[in-house]
Amino acid sequence: MKMKLTQLIRNLSVGLSLFLVISTAYAASPVWTFVPNVNYPPQVSINPRQTATVVYTFQNQSYKAKSLVMKPMPGVVQLFPCQLKPAGQSGSSCSLIIAVTGNALPTDGIHTGPILCQSNSNGTPNSNQCYRPSAADSLNITLSNPSVGVTVSVNPFILLMAEHSTGTVTVTNDASSSASANNVTATIPGGSSISIQSTTCGSSLAIGATCAITFASNTQEGPTIIPVKGDNTNTANVYAAVTDQPLISITGPAQQSRIVSTDGFTALDLEITNDSDSIFNANNITVSDKTSCPNLSVDASNCTSVAPGASCPLALTTTTPYAPCTITISGSNTGNSPTTVVAFSHRGGLVFQKSGAHGKVVIDAGSEFTSEWTFPSKSDIPAALSDDDGVGNTNAIVAHSACTNQTGNCAAYRCRAISADWYLPARNELQAVIFALCPGSVYPCAFGAFSSAMYWSSTQWFADANAYSIDVPDGNYLPGDKWRSEPVRCIRDF
């Protein structure tokens, strides 16, 4: 199961002490309660060169969801949002993770708070609904003098990584250290799937120098405390968490408009969005599979790094026509690979069939018309019985007196009137159109803006008075009275 950030933060509360008596700052009955985490207690003594972590767990006592934000304090920063579901529901508790930075603290330290408030719509604390822990559980952070010796620090000390990716921390030997830091390394605790991918720390890290340690993991976990130290140094902890990868989706344009022109320069900008719940940027997004349309060109220059909730365009161009094909989108660190079908416009229509260099297109929706097959004549046209040869059928129909005398009411004639190479499709050709542009017999069709109706083919039924029409979107064929007015889509070869 995917581990979202809120679930990850809640895991920090494992091993908490029993609930303690809580007092409030602004109300007699708290809407949420505090419990300090015994592994990251609020009583801390650090020197100006050090950092520390304090963790509280909150439990919602209200039947309304809450979004909590900490009132600002010098040297004390809330690292992650705290979202609470209503009391009694999963997610009704969360952890407040506080980073304490020694060189930003007041000289006399911090001996109160934190104060947690309901968040306003703009993310600021609402002072009308705030609570703080009891005096015994309040922050009690004191500053001490730096000890003489070799001091190393890590940045960042809370490291978030997406699964199947890496994260790097910088290790610094403090400028006030008395000597080089020897054999600085990170120690991965037993049971963790995190590994050290690389390190530049070596056997000796000079005073004031830095090195980098890169971690990797393919499995969600955390938080995991990874100590970093040398043979002659203090221990600086890295709090590492491996979370789910960013998720992307194809958000535009609408499916009907996912059409690539074969003019080679008019691009289809496929909009790709990184989910707003993602923790990380989605990187290097591109078309990862275009097997069925290999000459499709992709410009992914705007999709190298997409922030959570943001979007980027993948620009698709080609000079090669294809029948509708499925492409796959993915990033170098994404947790999913969405697919979409794209169609191709060519010679005034949509490509629905392709074999080698040749194929067929169906005319655009703007050129659809409604007509009788022939009217008022229902004469037998024996040369228009082919299921596959729409050109032959059309030639026979327009040459017959049933059509030549009533051109405005003859579907085949009106196709041929567009230009000499357009014709009324035979039964199987029109089925191929529907199966290609309405895949899965789903309406509305993926492409072509077809009506949910019966469309005329050029294939006469065995009875003189009828011809075949094809149903959209399922592609079934039925005989229809030639005098019936039905929509028409002409096709042509290329």
- In this structure, what CATH number is given to the domain that contains residue 449? 3.10.100
| Predicted pLDDT of residue 412 | 98
Q: Which two tokens stand for residue 442?
A: 């789903």
Q: What is the C-alpha separation between 401 and 69, in angstroms, rounded?
A: 82
Domain co-membership, 453 together with 371:
yes
Q: What is the C-alpha separation between 371 and 397, in angstroms, rounded?
A: 14
Q: What does residue 456 show for φ and ψ, rounded to 5 degrees?
A: -70, 135
Among the listed ranges 7-16, 215-224, 290-299, 331-340, which one has the minimum average pLDDT value? 7-16
Domain boundary among 220, 243, 266: 243
| Predicted pLDDT of residue 119 | 87
Which residue did the predictor score with more confidence, 404 or 473? 473
| Predicted pLDDT of residue 27 | 41
User: Is the pLDDT assigned to residue 221 strictly greater than 90?
Assistant: no
Domain co-membership, 135 together with 104:
yes
Domain co-membership, 174 together with 304:
no
Q: Taking the model in full, what pTM does it have? A: 0.68
Taking residues 120-126, report their average pLDDT.
84
| Predicted pLDDT of residue 223 | 72
Q: Which two tokens stand for residue 321?
A: 């026509």
| Predicted pLDDT of residue 439 | 92
State how far the alpha carbon of 424 is from the alpha carbons of 355, 396, 430, 447, in Å.
20, 11, 9, 19
User: Is the pLDDT assigned to residue 79 strictly greater than 80?
Assistant: no
207 confidence band (pLDDT: 50, 70, 90): very high
Helix, strand, or coil (residue 256): helix
29 confidence band (pLDDT: 50, 70, 90): low
Which residue did the predictor score with more confidence, 133 or 368? 368
Q: What is the CATH number of the domain that holds 112?
A: 2.60.40.10
- Other beta carbons within 10 angstroms of residue 25's beta carbon come to 15
| Predicted pLDDT of residue 15 | 31
| Predicted pLDDT of residue 279 | 78
Domain co-membership, 26 together with 131:
yes
Q: What is the C-alpha separation between 352 and 327, in angstroms, rounded?
A: 16
Q: What is the pLDDT of residues 391-435, one digit of tens each?
A: 999 999 999 999 988 888 999 999 999 999 999 999 999 999 999
User: Is the pLDDT assigned to residue 375 strictly greater than 60?
Assistant: yes
Which residue did the predictor score with more confidence, 336 or 99? 336
Q: What is the CATH number of the domain that holds 307?
A: 2.60.40
Query: E strand or H helix at 34, and its extent?
Result: strand 32-36
Domain co-membership, 265 together with 298:
yes
Q: Supply the range of the domain harboring residue 335.
A: 248-346
Domain boundary among 318, 346, 374: 346
**Which single residue is written with the structure tokens 């011809």?**
467
Q: What is the pLDDT of residues 290-326, one digit of tens each?
A: 999 999 999 999 999 999 999 999 999 999 999 999 9
Domain co-membership, 338 together with 378:
no
Domain co-membership, 119 together with 212:
no
18 confidence band (pLDDT: 50, 70, 90): very low
Taking residues 213-217, report their average pLDDT.
96
| Predicted pLDDT of residue 254 | 97
How many domains is the chain partitioned into structurally? 4
Domain co-membership, 163 together with 47:
no
Q: Are 474 and 487 in contact (CB under 8 A)?
A: no
Among the listed ranges 35-44, 184-193, 247-256, 362-371, which one has the minimum average pLDDT value? 35-44
- Other beta carbons within 10 angstroms of residue 13's beta carbon come to 18
Taking residues 438-456, report their average pLDDT.
95
With pLDDT > 70 as the criterion, what percentage of the chain qualifies? 94
- Interhelix angle 390-399/411-418, rounded to 10 degrees, is 110
Domain co-membership, 89 together with 181:
no
Domain boundary among 92, 115, 143: 143
User: Is the pLDDT assigned to residue 45 strictly greater than 80?
Assistant: yes
Domain co-membership, 482 together with 359:
yes
Assign residue 211 a region (left: φ > 0; alpha: ψ between -120 and 50; beta: otherwise): beta
Mean model confidence pLDDT for the chain: 90
Taking residues 184-203, report their average pLDDT.
96
User: Is the pLDDT assigned to residue 92 strictly greater than 90?
Assistant: no
| Predicted pLDDT of residue 8 | 46
* Burial class of 316 by CB neighbour count within 10 A (0 to 12, 13 to 18, 19+): buried
Q: What is the C-alpha separation between 4 and 326, in angstroms, rounded?
A: 30
Q: Are 35 and 20 in contact (CB under 8 A)?
A: yes
Q: What is the C-alpha separation between 70 and 99, in angstroms, rounded?
A: 12
Q: Which two tokens stand for residue 228?
A: 């970093």
**Which single residue is written with the structure tokens 């001996």?**
111
Domain co-membership, 257 together with 194:
no
Q: Which two tokens stand for residue 138?
A: 């309040």
Q: What is the C-alpha separation between 141 and 45, in angstroms, rounded?
A: 6
| C-alpha atoms less than 13 angstroms from C-alpha of 126 in its C-beta half-sphere | 10
Domain co-membership, 368 together with 478:
yes
Which of 155, 157, 162, 153 is closest to 194 using CA atoms? 162
252 confidence band (pLDDT: 50, 70, 90): very high
In this structure, which amino acid lies at residue 192? S
Q: Which two tokens stand for residue 175?
A: 């400028």
Which residue did the predictor score with more confidence, 86 or 28? 86
Taking residues 243-247, report their average pLDDT.
90
> In the 3-class helix/strand/coil scheme, how is 143-198 assigned residue by residue?
ECCCCCCCCEEEECCEEEEECCEEEEEEEEECCCCCCCEECCEECCCCCCCCEEEE
Q: What is the C-alpha separation between 152 and 212, in angstroms, rounded?
A: 12
User: Is the pLDDT assigned to residue 17 strictly greater than 70?
Assistant: no
